[in-house]
Amino acid sequence: MSKLQQAIDNLHEADREAAKRSGKSRIHPVSRLCVCMAYIGIVVSFHKYDVTGLLGMSLFIIITGILEDLSFIRGFQRIKYILVFVVLLGAVNPFLDKGIVMQTGSIAVTGGMLSMITLLIKGILTVYCAYHMFMCTGIEQLCRALRCLKVPKGGVTVVLLIYRYIIVLLKEIQRMSLAYRLRAPGQKGIHIKAWGSFAGLLLLRSMERAQNVYDSMLLRGYDGEFRYEILGQEKTGKGLSIAYTAGWIGIFILLRCFPVVQMVGDMIISPGR
Amino acid sequence: MVNLDHLTFTYDGNREVLSDISFHLKAGETVGLIGANGAGKSTLLKILTGLLTDYKGQVKLDGMDVNKKNLAAVREKTGYVFQDSESQLFLSTVYEDVAFGPRNYGYSEEEVQKKVMSALQQVHIEELKDRPIYRMSGGQKKLAAIATILSMEPEVILFDEPSVGLDPKNRRNLINIINRIGGLKIIASHDLDMIFDTCDKTILIEKGKLIFYGETAKILTDQRLLEESGLELPLSMQIRDGNRKINT
């Protein structure tokens, strides 16, 4: 199977898993979205040298992963390319901030090294959080949540169509590259001379197909609103959703304002003190 | 049910695709729409669904003008089965996709479930309801695409080249399904044998002009008229007449 086909299958599989989970979930997508946004906001707000504080925030990712039966390894495989980008960004820090901030034995730890680690942790936690949120709500429910939060219809439709466009684009790339390979045997990749016309044609073809998808949505009553509800979510899940949101945001604030991880660590290392 | 009065449509204001088309279709009819490539069949279907509204003349659906003001009501009454089922199906599973329309029209989840199951039963793919769409064959995708339209219970169903890419068995199955579905059906196709098997009446378009509108049997046996319009006799007619030939 080609890498492109694998990517398309992965996207479809993630979409299907998310739809299945969101169909069973009694927690309203607005709650999940609010918790996710609060989490990302709080993670980003940690000081650039506060590694232990950030480690405490991983609690949410671990608990959500276990409760929602989300595989961390599969998750890593799906988001690894974004994480590579985060690593590349963080790799510059040790060269920019060379001031020594602590000494562990004979090793001098510079501010750049610490900020690189915190940036990596922040990147991993926020990407995992967004991934978990997506896997528990799905794109449809996510858009529904955005509409509930009064995001304009146009904006929500753009989010929905960009997501659908990714799959359409990948499929078109696959078709066109297959057609190219079949007529260019022995050639590795697409020749640089063909890149311009390939990209242009790809854009036109994928836009035409995306237009068809949008037309299909319009013809089946789509107008930017998400009227449907998941059974049980509205009737019995309201209290649960409120508790979920309040509970997690409370825990995040606690972890942000108090050095909980450090306190727990101190208790373990020196319990009698 | 569908009234077209002197319909003219141009792309970009100068390229005339449809020219002075008029006809009247009644509820319950099955009408074929035939013509060579580029004759204007798909454009006509898009006008009937309200996807193209900048036309001249009058287009009425159930007494209502097909224009920007009435789009929601027009689309509630019409269903459009795309030529390319992949473009029509964009959700993760068959159930989700078939439920998309009824959910958008605000039905409760119990009603949505009933409509989805009824639509799937009509095309005999109940067992595929939880199947991921990307793992389905072309024939199954076509049936799922039809189910997405049937779940909305439209009064008019428009099919754009429904038999394209189907093997003989799936094609026969599709013909049987089309014959069982109620309401006004308009089928744009080059598959004249399928038109013969499904349609009471047929409209022939050539270069955007209406050439013939009448009994299907009459037009599909008129070799001269068909050939003048860039078409051929249906294969079944050629064999029956013993004049099957290979055109070069």
pLDDT tens track for B148-181:
999 999 999 999 999 988 888 889 999 999 999 9
Instruction: Report the residue from B75, B78, B93 with minimal CB separation from A19.
Output: B93
Distance of CA B28 to the CA centre of its chain: 14
- Contact residues on chain A for B80, CB-CB shorter than 8 A: 216, 219
At A3, the pLDDT band (50, 70, 90 cuts) reads confident
Percentage of residues of chain B with pLDDT beyond 70: 96
Domain that holds residue A105: 3-269
Contact at CB, A221 and B104, closer than 8 angstroms: yes
Cα dist from A130 to A125, A134, A146, B98, whole Å = 9, 6, 14, 28
Average pLDDT, stretch B133-160? 92
Average pLDDT, stretch A96-106? 82
- Contact residues on chain B for A140, CB-CB shorter than 8 A: 91, 96
Looking at residue A232, its pLDDT comes to 52
At B108, the pLDDT band (50, 70, 90 cuts) reads confident
| Interface probe with B: pick from A137, A139, A171, A220, most Cβ of B within 10 Å | A220
Instruction: Report the residue from B78, B82, B109 with minimal CB separation from A228.
Output: B109
Does A235 contact chain B (CB < 8 Å)? Answer: no
Does B40 contact chain A (CB < 8 Å)? Answer: no
Contact at CB, B109 and A231, closer than 8 angstroms: yes
Instruction: Report the residue from B51, B92, B103 with minimal CB separation from A12.
Output: B92
| Interface probe with B: pick from A6, A216, A233, A234, most Cβ of B within 10 Å | A216
Average pLDDT, stretch A139-159? 90
**How many domains does chain A fold into?**
1
Does A231 contact chain B (CB < 8 Å)? Answer: yes
Which range scores top for mean pLDDT: A97-101, A224-228, B23-27?
B23-27
- Which residue in chain A is spatially nearest to B107 when comparing CA positions? A228
Arithmetic mean of pLDDT over chain A = 86
Average pLDDT, stretch A16-26? 79
Looking at residue B247, its pLDDT comes to 46
Contact at CB, B103 and A209, closer than 8 angstroms: no
- Rounded to whole angstroms, how far apart are CA atoms B1 and A240? 50
Contact at CB, A9 and B134, closer than 8 angstroms: yes
Looking at residue A180, its pLDDT comes to 87
Instruction: Report the residue from A13, A209, A220 with minimal CB separation from B152.
Output: A220
- Contact residues on chain B for A137, CB-CB shorter than 8 A: none
Are B190 and B161 in contact by the 8 Å Cβ rule? The answer is yes
Q: Which helix (H) or strand (E) holds A100?
A: strand A100-104
Q: pTM value? A: 0.81
**Three-class DSSP category at B6:** strand
Average pLDDT, stretch A33-52? 93
Q: Residues 128 to 147 of A: which have CB under 8 A from any B CB?
A: 138, 140
Average pLDDT, stretch B41-48? 93
The owner of tokens 């309203």 is: A28
Looking at residue A59, its pLDDT comes to 92
Residue A200 has pLDDT above 70, yes or no: yes
Residue A272 has pLDDT above 90, yes or no: no
CA gyration radius, chain B: 18
Instruction: Report the residue from A13, A19, A213 with minimal CB separation from B96.
Output: A19
- Which residue in chain A is spatially nearest to B80 when comparing CA positions? A219
Instruction: Report the residue from A209, A220, A222 with minimal CB separation from B148.
Output: A220
At A58, the pLDDT band (50, 70, 90 cuts) reads very high
Average pLDDT, stretch A253-270? 86
Contact at CB, B76 and A222, closer than 8 angstroms: no
Find the range with the poorest average confidence among A150-164, B24-38, B79-93, B229-243.
Answer: B229-243
Contact at CB, A220 and B134, closer than 8 angstroms: no
Residue A42 has pLDDT above 80, yes or no: yes
Contact at CB, A218 and B103, closer than 8 angstroms: no
Arithmetic mean of pLDDT over chain B = 89
Does A16 contact chain B (CB < 8 Å)? Answer: yes
Residue B1 has pLDDT above 60, yes or no: yes
Looking at residue A95, its pLDDT comes to 86
Percentage of residues of chain A with pLDDT beyond 70: 95
- Torsion, CA A74, CA A78, CA A84, CA A86, rounded to 10: -100
Average pLDDT, stretch A186-201? 85
The residue type found at A197 is S
H helix runs in chain B, sequence order:
41-49, 71-77, 85-88, 94-104, 109-122, 138-150, 168-180, 192-198, 216-219, 223-228, 235-240
Q: Do you know the residue count of chain B?
A: 248
Residue A229 has pLDDT above 90, yes or no: no
- Contact residues on chain B for A209, CB-CB shorter than 8 A: 84, 86-87
Under 8 Å CB pairs connecting chains A and B tally to 80
Residue B248 has pLDDT above 50, yes or no: no
Does A172 contact chain B (CB < 8 Å)? Answer: no
Looking at residue B209, its pLDDT comes to 92
Residue A212 has pLDDT above 70, yes or no: yes
Average pLDDT, stretch B193-205? 94
Residue A233 has pLDDT above 70, yes or no: no
Contact at CB, B101 and A221, closer than 8 angstroms: yes
Find the range with the poorest average confidence among A234-238, B24-28, B44-48.
Answer: A234-238
Q: Are strands B2-11 and B15-25 parallel, antiparallel or unpaired?
A: antiparallel
- Contact residues on chain A for B78, CB-CB shorter than 8 A: 219
Are A40 and A126 in contact by the 8 Å Cβ rule? The answer is yes
Which range scores top for mean pLDDT: A75-84, B129-138, B175-184?
B175-184
Does B101 contact chain A (CB < 8 Å)? Answer: yes
Burial class (CB in 10 A: 0-12, 13-18, 19+), B31: buried
Looking at residue A188, its pLDDT comes to 79
- Which residue in chain B is spatially nearest to A213 when comparing CA positions? B87
**Three-class DSSP category at B58:** strand
